[in-house]
Structure 1
Amino acid sequence: MNKFLLRALVLASVNIAVLANAQFFRTRNRMDKLEDFDEQKFSWGFYLNGNMLDYRIVLNPRYGTYGNQNLVTSKESTSFGAGLIAKWRLNDYLDLRMEPGLQFAQRKLMFNTQYNDQYQNGTLTNDPFVPIPLTDKDKTREVKSTLVDVPVLLELHGHRWYNSRPYVAAGVNYVVNLQSNSDSTDDNMQQVFRSTTHNFAWSAEMGIQFYFNKFKLTPAIRGTFFMNNEMVADNATTPPYWASAISTLQTRAIMFVLKFE
């Protein structure tokens, strides 16, 4: 279902571009639409988006690698989300936008860390432990996330070209993961993967705004990259098969957005 939604959004963006070429960029018998829309001090709207999410992983050199082999890998996934738009006009070239939204994600982490049995007698960073045979269930973590994403973006644009206007934007995000399990006393030993609840990210975006008779439609592409480490360490008595193998874990996402204002 997520892949279908993502493809639908991409196809919609392509169709909008074709429509724009036919409808907005012709100069013959052309009428400007929503001429005073961008003169408003404040404006509102909503958006729908499809996402491609993955993790940026920095492995622990002792527990996360074996020779030239990475013992922990991730698999990207597609997902969807929606949110609201609040825009504050600063001047003819700059707008300040806040776009709080709800994003749904499910990613997969694979732990091929049975090699860490060699450290069962303990190291400077890990106490001795009793090795366990890792099952397929132990080696895979399905990480489900419900993200409350609050980006604040500064938008830079030029003047309208007929009924369209390109723009670029950049800013910072505050992201709350409602399924982080950060307060859980269970950890990967009990099949519970823990990550941070409160996170910060930066975003960059580009798109084209199209003006219709009643509303403004904006297809855009946005990249969002977490700045903090999301990894929560396992309990001290848990063998170094999971969290100990990862030094840094950070979400990165590419979003295909359709905005309606």
Structure 2
Amino acid sequence: MSKLSLKITAIVLFSTANFFHAQLFKTKDRMDNLEGVDDAKLSYGFFLNANQYDYKIVLDPKYGINGNKNLVQSKTSASFGAGLIGKARLNDNFDLRLEPGLQFVERELTFDTQSNDQFAAGTPTNQPFTPLALTDADRIRKVKSTYLDIPLLLEFHGDRWYNSRPYAAVGVNYSVNLQSNSASADDNQQGIFRSTTTNFGYTAELGIQFYFSRFKLTPAFRGTFFTNNEVVADNPGTPPYWAAAISTMQTRAFMFVLKFE
């Protein structure tokens, strides 16, 4: 790296550090940013987030496990979401927040269930079926979901320290999967993985609020955990390669959130 590049980098870093110091920390004869903003009874904003959704899966002991081998695996991928913020002030330390948002999600389920051919003659829980030679398309289901997620959070925050304030929040979630396929007449035998449309869960969140001269920026980490079983059974007569192998399936999500108020 040339001497000129080093000088430019040093100037940029120095200027950035000075900017954040000037914005966030009190200096002599300067008032705090956005004084009184937290005294408003109602306020609003918006958020952006990166997310990582996964399934917590409990397998059926007959169709989902063969010896010591789990026959179904879940693979997650990173995605994003966005939403709105509505805040009601309760007192100096507690706020009530409603933060509806859309979360765009894609997960992958792998069904290594060819060994279920052994149940082709039928069982008390499954009709007789003609075994299929499972292809890669049969084994893998890419599950795309769009969640309208509506968490109601009770936030507890400490006192401001210069232009920052830590907080913790807990709450409940109502979530609608707009791509659940729950009403589809087709099932996994036609390549359609179905899950529940309406879901419930709980959320926990930790973050720090930073007060700038014109807005409040909040980076936070959030975990959301569904409490209902999202599996929709395959149609009668469908071989037990797919939904029958799963007893319960529940979403769990981890997010990095940026809030602007």
Structure 1 residues 17 and 75, CA, compared in 2 at 3 Å: closer, same or farther? Answer: farther
Counterpart amino acid of 1:144?
K
Q: Which residue matches 2:182?
A: 182
Retained in 1: the 8 A contact 2:45–2:86?
A: yes
Q: Which residue matches 1:258?
A: 258
Q: Which residue matches 2:161?
A: 161
Q: Which residue matches 1:5?
A: none
| Cα drift, residue 55 of structure 1 | 0.6
Q: Which residue matches 1:238?
A: 238
Retained in 2: the 8 A contact 1:20–1:210?
A: no
| Secondary structure of residue in 2 paired with 1:106 | strand
| Cα drift, residue 124 of structure 1 | 1.6
Cα distance in 1 for residues equivalent to 2:19 and 2:221: 18
Cα distance in 1 for residues equivalent to 2:17 and 2:260: 15
| Cα drift, residue 26 of structure 1 | 5.6
Q: Which residue matches 2:195?
A: 195
Unpaired runs of 5+ in structure 1? Answer: 1-15
Structure 1 residues 237 and 209, CA, compared in 2 at 3 Å: closer, same or farther? Answer: same
| Cα drift, residue 24 of structure 1 | 2.1
Cα distance in 2 for residues equivalent to 1:257 and 1:236: 42
Which is higher, the Rg of structure 1 or of structure 2? 2
Cα distance in 1 for residues equivalent to 2:192 and 2:23: 53
Unpaired runs of 5+ in structure 2? Answer: 1-15
| Secondary structure of residue in 1 paired with 2:52 | strand
Counterpart amino acid of 2:48?
L
1:44-102 alpha-carbon deviations (Å, 9 max, x no partner): 00000000111100000000011111100010111100000000000001000000001
1:159-185 alpha-carbon deviations (Å, 9 max, x no partner): 111100000000001000000000001
| Cα drift, residue 17 of structure 1 | 11
- 30-39 or 181-190: which moved more? 30-39
Share of identical aligned residues, percent?
67
Cα distance in 1 for residues equivalent to 2:162 and 2:196: 46
| Secondary structure of residue in 2 paired with 1:115 | helix
Cα distance in 1 for residues equivalent to 2:22 and 2:243: 54
Retained in 1: the 8 A contact 2:224–2:253?
A: yes
Cα distance in 2 for residues equivalent to 1:106 and 1:18: 41
